[in-house]
C-alpha cells in the first residue's frame, strides 16, 4: 500500500505550471511544505473536465457518491490497479473521474527487528511527479455539504521498491498524464504498471511513524533520531 507521501513544493504557481492546471478557489500564493501526508488529510489534486485542468484540495480516503456515511473513506485509501473495475467504489471513478496527485516522495516500511523502518522513495532527480488516482464527490444528506475525496492506485513494485514492499503507487510519466486524465478507460488501464524510470531510496527518521509529526527532519537518516519507545509501526 501507499500510506504516506510528501509534497515539499510550496509555490502554488510552480505546481500549477508543472501540471498545466489553474488553481481553484481559496488558494493563496504559498502552501505549507508537507513531509508526512497521511490518510484522512487534505491533499493537492489535479482534476480535468476534459478541456481544462484545476488544482484543488481533496480528502485522502475515497467516499463514494452512494455511501451512506463518510467513514467508509477511512478504508479506501489505496485501490489495486488489477481490480478497479471489480469494485463498486472504484468502477465509476475509474471510468469518469481520474485525477493526479502531485508528489515528490512516497514512503514504505521494511521489517526491522520488532518494529519497522520507513524508507523514502523519490525520482533520481528529485522532480515532482504525479500519482495516478481516482476521485468522487459525496453529498452529506443532513447538511448538503459536498465532500470531494481521492484514492491512490497501487500496482506491483519495480525492482527498487520490491526490496522493501510488494506494492507501489502508480507513478505516471509526464507524457502520460493527459491520457490518464482524459483518455478512454482501456487506454488509461495500460498505464497502471510499475514505474520504469530511475528512482532512489533512503532510510529516514522513525518519527515518520507518527502522522501527527510533520517537519523537514523526517528526511534525516534514522541515526539522527532520539530514542523511541513503544511500537514503531506506522500509524496512518
6-30 pLDDT, tens per residue?
999 988 989 999 999 999 877 777 8
Query: CA triplet 204, 164, 41: central angle to 5 degrees?
Result: 60
Which DSSP symbol is given to 190?
T
For residue 199, give every residue at least 6 positions away whose Cβ sits within 8 Å of its Cβ, in sequence order, or none.
121, 122, 123, 124, 158, 160, 161
What's the pLDDT tens digit per position in 127-176? 999 999 999 999 999 999 999 999 999 999 999 999 999 999 999 999 99
pLDDT tier at 231 (50, 70, 90 boundaries)?
A: very low
- So what's the pLDDT on residue 229? 37
Of 2, 103, 148, 177, which one is the catalytic site residue? 2
Task: Name which of 62, 140, 56 is nearest 94 in CA terms.
Answer: 62
- pLDDT at residue 232 tops 50: no
pLDDT of residue 225: 61
- List the catalytic residue out of 99, 103, 108, 148: 108
Q: Are 13 and 31 in contact (CB under 8 A)?
A: no
Known catalytic membership, residue 103: no
- What's the pLDDT score for residue 233? 40
C-alpha grid cell for residue 164? Answer: 522493501
Distance between the two ends of the chain, CA-based, in angstroms? 11
Position 14 scores a pLDDT of: 93
Grid cell digits, residue 143:
447538511
- Rg of the chain (C-alpha set): 17
224 burial level (CB within 10 Å; 0-12, 13-18, 19+)? exposed
Which residues does 21 contact at the CB level (< 8 Å), separation at least 6?
Answer: 46, 53, 54, 55
Q: Give the domain 4-203 fold.
A: hypothetical protein yedk fold (3.90.1680)
2 is known as an active-site residue: yes
The set of residues, in sequence order, having a beta carbon less than 8 Å from that of 190 and lying 6+ positions away, is: none
Domain range list for the chain: 4-203
Say yes or no to pLDDT of 228 above 50. no
Mean per-residue pLDDT of the chain: 92
Check residue 97 and give its pLDDT.
98
CB count within 10 Å of CB 100 equals: 25
pLDDT for 235: 39
Confidence of residue 107 (pLDDT cuts 50, 70, 90): very high
Q: pLDDT tens digits, residue range 38-75?
A: 999 999 999 999 999 999 999 999 999 999 999 999 99
CB 116 within 8 A of CB 203: no
* Residue 90: Cβ within 10 Å count: 22
Residues in Cβ contact with 48 at an 8 Å cutoff, skipping those fewer than 6 apart: 54, 99, 181, 182
Amino acid at each position: 500500500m501507499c500510506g504516506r507521501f510528501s509534497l515539499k513544493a510550496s509555490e502554488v504557481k510552480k505546481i500549477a505550471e508543472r501540471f498545466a492546471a489553474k488553481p481553484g478557489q481559496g488558494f493563496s500564493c504559498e502552501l505549507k511544505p508537507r513531509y508526512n501526508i497521511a490518510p484522512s488529510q487534505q491533499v493537492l489534486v489535479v482534476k480535468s473536465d476534459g478541456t481544462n485542468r484545476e488544482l484543488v484540495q481533496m480528502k485522502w480516503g475515497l467516499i463514494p457518491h452512494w455511501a451512506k456515511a463518510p467513514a467508509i473513506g477511512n478504508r479506501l485509501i489505496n485501490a489495486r490497479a488489477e481490480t478497479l473495475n471489480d469494485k463498486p467504489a472504484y468502477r465509476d471513478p475509474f471510468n469518469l473521474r481520474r485525477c493526479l496527485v502531485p508528489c515528490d516522495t512516497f514512503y514504505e516500511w521494511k521489517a526491522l527487528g520488532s518494529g519497522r523502518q520507513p524508507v523514502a522513495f523519490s525520482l533520481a532527480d528529485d522532480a515532482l511527479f504525479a500519482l495516478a488516482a481516482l476521485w468522487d464527490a459525496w453529498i452529506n444528506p443532513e447538511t448538503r455539504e459536498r465532500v470531494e475525496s481521492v484514492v491512490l492506485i497501487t500496482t506491483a513494485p519495480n525492482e527498487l521498491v520490491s526490496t522493501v514492499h510488494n506494492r507501489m503507487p502508480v507513478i505516471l510519466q509526464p507524457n502520460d498524464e493527459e491520457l490518464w486524465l482524459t483518455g478512454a478507460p482501456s487506454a488509461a488501464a495500460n498505464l497502471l504498471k510499475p514505474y520504469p524510470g530511475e528512482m532512489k531510496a533512503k532510510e529516514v527518521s522513525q518519527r515518520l511513524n507518527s502522522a501527527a509529526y510533520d517537519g523537514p527532519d523526517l528526511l534525516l537518516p534514522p541515526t539522527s533520531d532520539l530514542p523511541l519507545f513503544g511500537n514503531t509501526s506506522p500509524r496512518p
